[in-house]
Structure 1
C-alpha cells in the first residue's frame, strides 16, 4: 500500500500506516528513531522532491519493508516478514 504525503511528514505517515496495519496505537510500535532518524528522513525527502525524483529510501521497520520516494510516496510492504 502506498500513501501520498500531502500534509503529513514521511516519518509520521510511516508510523500511522504501520499502526493501522497492526491495529495498534502508534505508541505501541517501536520508536521510529531506533530504525531511522525521522528528522533526517523528512528533510531528505523534502530536499530531493524535485532535484532527484528517482531517489528511494528503503528500510525495515516493525517487520515491514518501507520505501519512501523523493516524490513523497510511502510504500509499506505488508509481507516483509514472509520474505525472510
Structure 2
C-alpha cells in the first residue's frame, strides 16, 4: 500500500499548528497522532501540497508540525508528549 500524507491542525505550545504525517492508512496516522479515526475523518485530509508531500514522505510515520504558520518549517513532535486533539 502506498503512503499518503495526511494534514490537519493540532495544538502545540498553546498554538494551533499545521501537522502532517505520511502513513499507509488514515487509521495508522490517527494512532501516531493520538487521535480517533472519527476525528481524522472529520478534520484531516490527504494533502496535495508538494512541499508537505516532500517533507512527510522523507520521514514516514513521523508526526511533523509547522513551527511558524505557512513557513514550511516542519519539525517532529516530541513523541513523549503527544499532540493535543
TM-score, with length taken from structure 1: 0.30
Pair member with larger Rg: 1
TM-score, with length taken from structure 2: 0.30
Higher strand share: 2
